[in-house]
């Protein structure tokens, strides 16, 4: 223990330097295996399409064997979502320091590569491969390739509380040295204790058959804090509950980690956001094009009769009729300017904006399908806004607190996009619309009961 203290101090210093160096960089934090979840258990949640997360965990584990063998690990982990509901993950003990009765070793441990696919909002399937990067002769790795599969179930329990259940089977020693297959399982529960902080508890274990059944179980408690929109810090620890097979069974564990998220769910709004910018050039273009020729055409014509009038005045030719001729183009040029004037008074526009701000479109639970009341409200506000082409507005999607924050951000965006498509189909110009999502972050009423949650599953509007 005393010999490893300098290493842990150096590791803690490195973590602090990283935290200080990235103050500007989410809810979708990673597990020790790299996938989105808690520390021991995976979540059915996946990153938003195109999002990338990178982080690291430092851990200390003391095992149930004689003379307190210990392992210190520093393990980078990362995840990437190449498509919606799909997440690739990777984790590896890049720096492992091991203390055992046979001596001390430093090296690299076995890595893991996994792929998670969300089949339904709260159900996902996971497959992974353990890659033997570690040196088996120094007990840094198994020397073989393992393959595992698992089912993941996440249950929103209300009030932001979520339970994650994992169950799976690992085929050990598929290539390389022989190993023992085992069933593994885990249950994690996270509870919000503030706007940016969650506490969690996890139970995990496995059952191995090697002549006889052997169970290894452990329990951890942890805290996860969202430092900023893109940075999350996790700390925790726990103890083994049962097990007597040495390195298979941790007796004590302490861990800490951090993640940076690039391209969060809100980034999906970006392609829609430029739409209002396109409105400005379109609105300015008709006014700018006629305005330029108008002075140019009128100014010469106004001076020409003054020059011609002196010599031609005695002759009854056609200079006199020529005077009305320039007047006709002047009126024709002025006509579009009159047509571009607002079709509604300021009072009418103000009343329309108030109706827009008061409108709410309600949705079914965990769906982008409107309730009957929501469908009627959407039809009414769409007909109203089709008459007021001068008003550009924001469509803002919301969700109740059930489910994870990252999932609810995506759900809010999908609801806003559903409303946008309906309005465009009904004749509202796409350039007038901007789509954003707030997820569960701005509830209309507290999410204390079913009625409150129903009122928070909504889309609202605001004028630009």
pLDDT in tens, 366-399: 889 999 999 999 999 999 999 998 999 999 999 9
Say whether pLDDT at 67 is over 70. no
- Report, as an integer, the average pLDDT of 412-424: 93
- Report, as an integer, the average pLDDT of 2-7: 46
Distance (Å, rounded) from C-alpha 239 to C-alpha 218? 6
Q: Which residue has the higher pLDDT, 67 or 24?
A: 67
CATH 3.30.1330.60 fits domain 275-285+345-463? yes
pTM (predicted TM-score): 0.58
Indicate the Cα dihedral angle 107, 110, 115, 121, nearest 10°: -80
pLDDT at 344: 83
Say whether pLDDT at 429 is over 50. yes
DSSP string, 117-184: EEEETTEEEEEEEEE--S-GGGTSS-SEEEEEEEEEEEEEEETTEEEEEEEEEEEEEEEES----EEE
pLDDT at 11: 47
Question: Which tokens sit at 76?
Answer: 């980078």
Q: Does an H or E element contain 281, and which?
A: helix 275-291
pLDDT at 330: 38
pLDDT at 333: 39
Say whether pLDDT at 297 is over 90. no
Among 76-90, 252-266, 314-328, where is mean pLDDT lowest?
314-328
Per-residue pLDDT band at 328 (split at 50, 70, 90): very low
Per-residue pLDDT band at 412 (split at 50, 70, 90): very high
- Report, as an integer, the average pLDDT of 90-119: 89
The answer to whether 109 touches 87, Cβ cutoff 8 Å, is: no
Q: Which residue has the higher pLDDT, 211 or 218?
A: 218
Share of the chain above pLDDT 70, in %: 73
Say whether pLDDT at 314 is over 50. no
Fold agreement between 5-15+25-263 and 275-285+345-463: no
CATH class as words, domain 5-15+25-263: mainly beta
**19-31 burial, b for 16+ CB within 10 Å, e for fewer?**
eeeeeebbbbbbb
pLDDT at 211: 62
User: What pairing do the DSSP bridges indicate for beta strands 360-362 and 123-131?
Assistant: unpaired
Per-residue pLDDT band at 37 (split at 50, 70, 90): very high
The answer to whether 401 touches 158, Cβ cutoff 8 Å, is: yes
Give me the residue spans of the domains in the chain.
Answer: 5-15+25-263, 275-285+345-463
Residues 6+ apart with CB under 8 A from 221: 199, 200, 201, 202, 236, 237, 238
Say whether pLDDT at 313 is over 60. no
């Amino acid at each position: 223990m005393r010999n490893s203290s300098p290493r842990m101090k150096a590791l803690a210093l490195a973590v602090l330097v990283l935290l200080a160096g990235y103050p500007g960089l989410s809810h979708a934090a990673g597990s020790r295996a790299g996938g989105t979840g808690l520390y021991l258990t995976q979540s059915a949640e996946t990153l938003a399409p195109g999002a990338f997360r990178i982080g690291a965990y430092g851990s200390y584990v003391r095992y149930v064997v004689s003379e307190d063998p210990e392992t210190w690990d520093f393990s980078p982990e990362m995840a990437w979502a190449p498509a919606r509901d799909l997440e690739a993950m990777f984790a590896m003990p890049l720096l492992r320091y091991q203390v055992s009765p046979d001596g001390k070793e430093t090296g690299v441990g076995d890595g893991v590569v996994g792929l998670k696919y969300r089949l339904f909002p709260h159900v996902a399937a996971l497959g992974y491969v353990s890659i033997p990067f570690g040196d088996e002769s120094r007990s840094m790795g198994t020397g073989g390739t393992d393959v595992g599969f698992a089912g993941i179930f996440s249950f929103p329990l209300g009030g932001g509380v979520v339970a994650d259940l994992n169950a799976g089977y690992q085929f050990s020693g598929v290539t390389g040295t022989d190993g023992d297959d085992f069933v593994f399982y885990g249950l994690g529960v996270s509870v919000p204790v503030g706007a940016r902080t969650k506490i969690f508890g996890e139970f995990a274990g496995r059952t191995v058959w090697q002549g006889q059944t052997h169970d290894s179980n452990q329990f951890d408690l942890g805290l996860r804090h969202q430092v900023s929109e893109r940075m999350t810090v996790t700390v925790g620890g726990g103890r083994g509950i049962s097990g007597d097979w040495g390195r298979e069974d941790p007796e004590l564990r302490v861990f800490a980690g951090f993640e940076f998220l690039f391209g969060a769910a809100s980034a999906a709004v970006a392609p829609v956001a430029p739409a209002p910018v396109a409105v400005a050039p379109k609105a300015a273009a008709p006014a700018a094009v006629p305005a330029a020729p108008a002075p140019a055409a009128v100014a010469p014509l106004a001076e020409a009769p003054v020059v011609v009038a002196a010599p031609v005045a005695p002759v009854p030719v056609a200079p006199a009729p020529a005077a009305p001729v320039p007047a006709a183009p002047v009126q024709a040029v002025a006509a579009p300017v009159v047509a571009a004037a607002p079709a509604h008074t300021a009072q009418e526009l103000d009343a329309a904006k108030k109706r827009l701000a008061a409108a709410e479109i309600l949705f079914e639970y965990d769906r982008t399908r409107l309730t009957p009341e929501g469908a009627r409200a959407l039809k009414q506000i769409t007909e109203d806004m089709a008459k007021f082409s001068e008003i550009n507005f924001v469509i803002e999607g919301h969700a109740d607190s059930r489910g994870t924050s990252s999932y609810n951000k995506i759900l809010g965006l999908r609801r806003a996009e559903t409303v946008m498509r309906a309005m465009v189909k009904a004749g509202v110009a796409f350039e007038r619309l901007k789509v954003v999502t707030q997820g569960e972050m701005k509830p209309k009423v507290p999410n204390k009961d079913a009625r409150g949650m129903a009122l928070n599953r909504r889309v609202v509007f605001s004028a630009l």
